[in-house]
Amino acid sequence: MSDIDLKNPQYYINRELSLLEFNRRVLAQAKDPAIPLLERLRFLTISCTNLDEFFEVRVAGLKEKEAARSVRRGPDNMLPNEVLSILATRSHAFVDEQYQVLNEELLPALAEQQINFIRRTEWNTSQAAWLKRYFHEELQPVLSPMGLDSAHPFPKVVNKSLCFIVSLTGKDAFGRNSGLAVLQAPRSVPRVIQLPPDETESGVHDFVFLSSVIHAHMDELFHGMTVQGSYQFRVTRNSDLLVDDEEMLDLKRAIEGELALRQYGDEVRIEIADNCPAEMVSFLQVQFELGEDDVYLVHGPVNLNRLQTVFELINRPDLSFPPFTPGIASQLSSKENIFNAIAKRDLLLHMPFDSFTPVIELLNQAAADAQVLAIKQTLYRTGAKSAIADALVKAALAGKEVTVVVELRARFDEEANVTLATRLQKAGVHVVYGVVGYKTHAKMMLVIRREGKRLRYYTHLGTGNYHPGTARVYTDYGLFSANKQVGEDVVNVFNQLTSLGKVPKLNKLLHAPFTLQKTILEKIEREASNAAAGKPARIIAKMNSLTDEEVIKALYRASMAGVAIDLIIRGVCRLRPGIAGVSENIQVRSIIGRFLEHTRVHYFENADSPEVFASSADWMERNLYQRVEVCFPIEAKVLRERVIKDLNGYLKDNQQAWLLMSDSCYVKASPSEGEPPFSIQQSLLEKKADVV
């Protein structure tokens, strides 16, 4: 074992390439005929949203490193330019596949269900007349075409906005020969227009893309000139906020300033309609200073995200996942005193199968309870108008001491969090923004209640955000507890976040960036020692991403010692399983289904004394070193057994699981001969509420 160099780059998968592979698994859902048709369309749009963020953040970061001529290599020993080259090839193939799925599979299948996206060459007389009126009344007044000349340089177009490059002939109003113009569609204008059946002889679910309407009437924007052609394009920009933690005196004001600049970051990609002439493609490429690899020619709308709007316009339950109602255990119903229920024993929620309502109810009861003195909570993503925010405002107005740690730098939720912080402050809530240089990613709620002559702590700790919306589509665990030691730990972590003082040794919680990684490594190494000594040893770890090199090395060492390791990693995984002599005892699987797998759970066999932890943190460098996180034990036997049963269900899944191979490719799992099909998400949906 000592002869094996665990720094060998062949043992590590590149992070960006792994993330792109995750998006391939999402796109595969759009191709799966077993999934309801509208849900397949939704998965296609999700793959587009994911790819946008991938370019805005990951590719943008690589381009910055390349421009700086960075020679820093990751565990895989790849330079930024090497990664970018491979990503370009794979991303182009991925985009081609997206449009193939749209044009050859989904649109024909939707048409068979009388859901049509009608091209402008197919409009009947009534449709054309209605759309002409729509253009004149709704679109033309808000459109601002820009002819290009020395006084009108190429505009700085907004990130991911729908734009058109227009080729013109003839003289303009000032007697000059025209050439090119640019039109940017305002964000306020709907990208998909539903045709009214009673006015257009259309079906109930007939739609037209905004781009088609603009193309059809483009000549009306350039009177006296001739439109030779108009072509869609969309630019993706670097969208990471550049906030200097060291020089910043007011985080909120700094982020507000950066948000205004996000729409105009450096260009990283341009998508152009594939019918655009080569010379105009080259013109756009030069304007945005992009290379050939950064140009994506697409056969269809340049932004598949626009299809998301149709889900609210189509009422076809037969083409969607069946609705479900999350369960609520009787002891957590709104009719009961939730404090009495939590005081009796720890309680565990598994969203979305269990309702998120008890979390909101805890806050609402705390706001109305005269015995409650104080409430403390972390908020990472929740929404300014959420029921959580309403309850916190209600508590503050009722005279409770309410302290909220709002992480303003939650990526792409910064604006919502600034609005939330402002609203809470106006209600009298004490709002802090966490720790400079460290995102506050921990999911904690603390209610302090006077009971007789003592104070009692009621806590909620979770793996996911306090967001009622995502609680219906993300899988997450949430633990209610009145355990004194857990409460003391939460008090100490909150005190650190507000006072910035050192935290005394915690009783139960593991705490990043302090003790979490160190303890995880110790527990992995303990399993290795147990295996070497012939004792029972096993690790099951479920999370969103695994990238930390030190943790991966520890898992390799444990595998080499004989520990059976099962990893359930939804997204990025740098660890390479199945390497002879190194990781042959490690299996990695990814579950992609109706719900976004978001639980972070760790199981350690511990020589027949199992330990189970749930966490806000993935095993990633950013979570372990650069964020404030908490990892908490599930100690009640009945709860621990429930979580272990769930984990075994994920390992049993042969319908929504993808298995990571040693060559870094994923293979869809399928039942073995004689094995019944099993989906863990479907199984959990079919169970009755069993909050215990």
Class of domain 512-686: alpha beta
Phi-psi domain of 500 (left: phi exceeds 0; alpha: psi -120 through 50; beta: other): left
Catalytic, 441? Answer yes
Active-site hit among 217, 441, 467, 511: 441
Structure tokens at 137: 């009344």
| pTM score over 0.85 | yes
Residue 93: other Cβ atoms inside 10 A: 11
Domains 10-319 and 512-686 share a fold: no
User: CA 84, CA 438: separation in Å to the nearest integer?
Assistant: 28
Least confident of 10-14, 258-262, 529-533: 258-262
Q: Give residue-wise pLDDT tens across range 642-689.
A: 999 999 999 999 999 999 999 999 999 999 999 999 999 999 999 854
Class of domain 330-508: alpha beta
**Adjacent-strand bridge partners of 589:** 568, 659
Burial environment of residue 313 by CB neighbours within 10 A (0 to 12, 13 to 18, 19 or more): middle
CATH of the domain spanning 10-319, picked from 3.30.1840.10, 3.90.1170.30, 3.40.1190.20, 3.30.750.210: 3.30.1840.10
| Amino acid making up residue 31 | K
| Amino acid making up residue 230 | S
User: CA 95, CA 200: separation in Å to the nearest integer?
Assistant: 34
Q: Give residue-wise pLDDT tens across range 435-490.
A: 878 889 999 999 999 999 999 999 999 999 999 989 999 999 999 999 999 999 99
At residue 241, the pLDDT reads 47
Domain layout of the chain by residue ranges: 10-319, 330-508, 512-686
Instruction: Please report which helix (H) or strand (E) contains residue 425, including its range.
Output: helix 414-426
Per the CB < 8 A criterion, the answer to whether 235 and 267 are in contact is yes
The crossing angle, in degrees rounded to 10, of helices 516-532 and 549-560 is 10
Return phi, psi of residue 367, to 5°: -65, -35
Q: Give residue-wise pLDDT tens across range 222-245.
A: 988 899 999 999 999 988 644 444
Structure tokens at 126: 């009534």
User: CA 239, CA 270: separation in Å to the nearest integer?
Assistant: 15
Q: Give residue-wise pLDDT tens across range 588-643.
A: 999 999 999 999 999 999 999 999 999 999 999 999 999 999 999 999 999 999 99
Mean pLDDT (the chain) is: 91
Q: Give residue-wise pLDDT tens across range 137-175.
A: 999 999 999 988 766 788 889 999 999 999 998 876 666
